[in-house]
A and B are shown apart, each in its own frame.
Chain A
């Protein structure tokens, strides 16, 4: 069965000049959409991918990545809203390109966050006045 999975990959310093993710396509018959790619200040490589393919192939592809010493984490865990800091103003809602931050009940005007929809683009982080949105990569 074909599914899509969003993952955050961290490449150790020693691996950043090696081509690794192309094998997901070549050997595991997966396709991917690159949502983010960065070299971090400590020379670690960071990539956020949306992987699409057969369930079994996705599993094999992720095992391959782990064997390459790439740290793999599901994306959902990485953007966190600190609800104690959030003042429920809604400034983030119009910034989120995918509707992961939204107001469901327009009577109470309370802000909600759906981590499943989040693509970790971070466009919400700085516009949040109390800086309640934390990026944990």
Chain B
């Protein structure tokens, strides 16, 4: 049994498409088996909502009178420095940027109360944001200073463009040392005090398409509450890494670079967040529909939390020192139970990615597709595959003497 994307899109337009969330899919498979479900179901919606640090937005704020060249100058939005290495009024606001006077970890662990992610959330909420800039002045762009309120609805382009999102699996962080650690996977209590994980598990988009057969460049997605697209493979994409049975990654492998119009997104799905002792970032909501083109597609999308394994990594020594040692593996059903066993010790677990918000996104995307508002796209180019030889490399230092 093979369906085409065109057939499925026709069904969407006619209001006849059978679309379910990943959780509903699992119930169907349990009741009626893979073969019948593959025939019955056209699309399964997958999703994730969690902190994704390689995120940001570029804006064209519009020209002033007289004109100013922000490019090569300095600018801040609500005190947060933006990147001004583009043309006159194009700036890029990164999620982890912070005001120059933020104390960071001067007194460890720093609170990291406000940063680029928070500014993005405020822009999307419709709040006025302060743009302050200085420029070096040219004949064609003579102005040297600018202080103005701006608002998302008034700027020209405002594009969310995230170089790395939607990690295909991630580590489970623990702390073997005797002092508390403050990391991007949250606060790690000493002596295996807790284990933190960050993945939507069975709901996670790339885990449902482990070999990137349906998700590729140009795939249309739910991004931050609006429509977005997969723009490229994300940074650190590592398709050739360790996989288990059924191709399910056991380590962090694939990633996506995503893009979309910030003006049609929602602050419910783009949230500025703070990681004590680590930094600020943006939590991003992403939803990706997977067309069930064949029984094979369904077999990949049938994975459950119990089928997905992650590596337990010590963040006191192994991770910061780039050691590849892994303390063991554990699956997401075990992690979500609230407690796992590590070398005979019962260790409480905490998530950093929100499973319940991911489920909400999967339901929203399902409703868009059912309404006929959202048709699926065929990728225009594939992501680098597991057999491509594409590999994540470390930086081999060549010190400058």
Residues of A within 8 A of B (CB): 87-95, 103, 106, 108-110, 126-127, 129-131
CB neighbours of A110 from chain B (8 A): 356
Q: Mark B342-385, 1 if CB is under 8 A from A, else 0.
A: 00000011111111110100000000000000000000000000
Q: What separation, in Å, do the CA atoms of A109 and B275 have in the docked complex?
A: 21
**Are A131 and B113 in contact, CB atoms less than 8 angstroms apart?**
yes
Q: What separation, in Å, do the CA atoms of A54 and B75 have in the docked complex?
A: 64
In the complex, whether B50 has a CB less than 8 A from a CB of chain A is yes
**Whose C-beta in chain A lies nearest to the C-beta of B281?**
A129
Q: What separation, in Å, do the CA atoms of A95 and B195 have in the docked complex?
A: 11
Q: What separation, in Å, do the CA atoms of A108 and B51 have in the docked complex?
A: 20
Determine the main DSSP class of A at the interface with B: loop
Stretch at the interface among B186-194, B240-248, B311-319, B321-329: B186-194
**Are B356 and A108 in contact, CB atoms less than 8 angstroms apart?**
yes
**Whose C-beta in chain A lies nearest to the C-beta of B360?**
A88
Q: How far is the CB of A41 from chain B (nearest CB, A)?
A: 16
CB neighbours of B113 from chain A (8 A): 131
Q: What separation, in Å, do the CA atoms of A127 and B273 have in the docked complex?
A: 10
User: Apart from A90-B352, A94-B193, A108-B355, what 6 extra A-B contacts exist at CB < 8 Å?
Assistant: A88-B354, A89-B50, A90-B354, A91-B186, A95-B189, A131-B113
Enumerate 7 A-B pairs (CB-CB under 8 Å) in ascending A order. Answer: A87-B283, A87-B354, A88-B354, A93-B338, A94-B196, A129-B274, A129-B275
Q: Given A95-B187, A126-B111, does the pair A89, B353 have CB atoms closer than 8 Å?
A: yes
**Whose C-beta in chain B lies nearest to the C-beta of A131?**
B274
**Whose C-beta in chain A lies nearest to the C-beta of B112?**
A126
Residues of B within 8 A of A (CB): 49-51, 109, 111, 113, 186-187, 189, 193-196, 271-276, 283, 336-338, 348-357, 359
**Are B352 and A129 in contact, CB atoms less than 8 angstroms apart?**
yes
**Are A93 and B274 in contact, CB atoms less than 8 angstroms apart?**
no
List the 3 shortest-distance A-B pairs measured between CB atoms, nearest first: A129-B273, A94-B350, A94-B194
**Are A95 and B194 in contact, CB atoms less than 8 angstroms apart?**
yes
Q: How far is the CB of A111 from chain B (nearest CB, A)?
A: 8
| From A95, A109, A127, contact of B351 by CB (8 A) | A109
**Are B348 and A88 in contact, CB atoms less than 8 angstroms apart?**
no
Q: How far is the CB of A52 from chain B (nearest CB, A)?
A: 28
Q: How far is the CB of B194 from chain A (nearest CB, A)?
A: 4
Q: How far is the CB of B306 from chain A (nearest CB, A)?
A: 13
**Are B187 and A127 in contact, CB atoms less than 8 angstroms apart?**
yes
**Are B356 and A91 in contact, CB atoms less than 8 angstroms apart?**
no
**Whose C-beta in chain A lies nearest to the C-beta of B276?**
A126
**Are A89 and B351 in contact, CB atoms less than 8 angstroms apart?**
yes
Q: How far is the CB of B339 from chain A (nearest CB, A)?
A: 9
CB neighbours of B189 from chain A (8 A): 94-95
Q: How far is the CB of A96 from chain B (nearest CB, A)?
A: 10
**Whose C-beta in chain A lies nearest to the C-beta of B197?**
A90
Q: How far is the CB of B46 from chain A (nearest CB, A)?
A: 16
CB neighbours of B186 from chain A (8 A): 91, 127, 129
| From A91, A108, A131, contact of B352 by CB (8 A) | A91
CB neighbours of A90 from chain B (8 A): 350-352, 354
Q: What separation, in Å, do the CA atoms of A88 and B268 have in the docked complex?
A: 12
Q: Given A103-B338, A129-B51, does the pair A91, B196 have CB atoms closer than 8 Å?
A: yes
